[in-house]
Amino acid sequence: MDSEDQGAPVVGFENVPENDAAEYLNNYKTHTPGITHDEMVRAYTEWATNYDKDLCPGRYNGPEIAARFMATHYPVEVRDKLNILDVAAGTGQVGRELHKVGFRKIDALEPSPGMLQVLKRRNIYGTLYQVALGLERINAIATDAYDALVIAGGMGEGHIPVRGLDEIVRIVKPGGTVFIVMREEYLSYVTEYVGKLEPYMENLLDRAIVENYSFGKSGVVFKYQVEK
């Protein structure tokens, strides 16, 4: 597929480095405007075995950025005691990065069976939930179950809807911390988020712009606290 095969221009393609064009288009199959939840899940399952090759460190730095922000927030001596939920865990790249800096109790939530299959092989995660966030209440996860929750790369067209944040507040303990790392430009053109996502985050502790999040584009990191 080239940048205009489907008749419409590929959103965000204009400033992608030439070397990353093919991988950007692979990624775009999971983010095409108007993609439904089921289509998105299927697209990830089809991509799963090539995902880590296409979205490798350098081209996609979300997992490393998430782990860096979490490591800055939590002193080294508490990291192995925290119950963490990695939402939109994909193939487990965030778990890999969190493990490197001393986090140990990490569960994964991920709707795509293909992505989960790759994740399982890493042997880093505890409980795995094959489910999506933001569609309905996740009865398998107790209220106030987690000390911290992280999402890297899980926000985007057809991905986690704004109402997913309600479920986050339910499953994270009062006073617990939520880290969301996403492509900055999605805030301006993903209809679900424009003018809605940021106002929804109460008790925002930090909002940081990071360079070279993915495909040379900047990212934004939100850190917020669930009300005590």
Ligand X SMILES: C[S@@+](CC[C@H](N)C(=O)[O-])C[C@H]1O[C@@H](n2cnc3c(N)ncnc32)[C@H](O)[C@@H]1O
The binder of ligand X chosen from 16, 82, 132, 180 (CB under 6 A): 132
Place of tokens 């460190």: 57
Q: Quick one: 152 or 190, whose CB is closer to ligand X?
A: 152
C-beta separation of 177 from 73 below 8 A:
yes
**Does 90 participate in binding ligand X (rule CB under 6 A)?**
yes
Which range touches ligand X (CB under 6 A), out of 13-21, 67-75, 132-140, 185-193?
132-140
Q: How many CB atoms lie within 10 A of CB 17?
A: 10
Which 112-131 residues touch ligand X, going by CB under 6 A?
Answer: 112, 115
Beta-carbon contacts of residue 166 (< 8 Å; ≥ 6 apart):
none
CB of 107 to ligand X, least distance (A): 13
89 binds ligand X (CB under 6 A): yes
By CB under 6 A, tell whether 110 contacts ligand X: yes
Q: In the complex, which residue's CB is closest to ligand X?
A: 90
Binding segment for ligand X among 68-76, 83-91, 171-179, 198-206 (CB under 6 A)? 83-91
Check residue 94 for interaction with ligand X (CB under 6 A): yes
The amino acid sitting at 35 is I
Residue list 25-64, contact with ligand X (CB under 6 A): 40-41, 44, 62-63
**Site membership for ligand X, residue 111 (CB under 6 A):** yes
Options 65, 82, 87, 171; binder of ligand X; rule CB under 6 A: 87
Q: Which of 10, 65, 88, 201 binds ligand X (CB under 6 A)?
A: 88
Q: Point out which span in 121-129, 150-158, 167-175, 182-190 binds ligand X (CB under 6 A).
A: 150-158
Which residues would be at the binding site for ligand X (CB under 6 A)?
Answer: 40-41, 44, 62-63, 87-90, 93-94, 109-112, 115, 132-134, 152-154, 159-160
